[in-house]
Amino acid sequence: MNPADRDRIIELLQDPTRSCRAISRQMGYSDWTIRKIARELDGDPRPMRSARSSAHDPSEEISTLGCWLIGGGFIALLAFAIWAGAWQNPPQEP
């Protein structure tokens, strides 16, 4: 967003008859962006939530290393099962 657009949005937010949705449609920015600017103008220190995201706890996420370890463990277990099956049942001779 360039400074001219931001100044225009601030000017439009001064009009109490205009909604954030109407301003977002006119300016081509998301409603969330307009609301964020309006909050900054009001001096509201609370952070905005992420746009269209559900609440989630980042501590529940699995790291990339964890994903690789789980995937590698699955492949190793599958390879072991194939080896054990072949060792228990050798090929039959005709």
Q: What is the structure's pLDDT at 56?
A: 56
Instruction: Pick the closest to residue 7 from 31, 23, 30, 25 (CA basis).
Output: 23
Q: Which residues does 18 contact at the CB level (< 8 Å), separation at least 6?
A: 12
Q: What is the structure's pLDDT at 54?
A: 56
Rounded CA-CA distance 8/34 in Å is: 11
Q: What is the structure's pLDDT at 80?
A: 96
Domain limits of the chain?
3-42, 63-88
Q: What is the pLDDT along the chain (94 residues), one digit of tens a residue?
A: 788 988 998 899 888 888 889 999 998 888 888 888 888 888 877 777 765 655 555 666 678 888 899 999 999 999 999 999 888 887 777 7
pTM value is 0.48
Assess contact for 12 and 27: CB atoms under 8 A.
yes
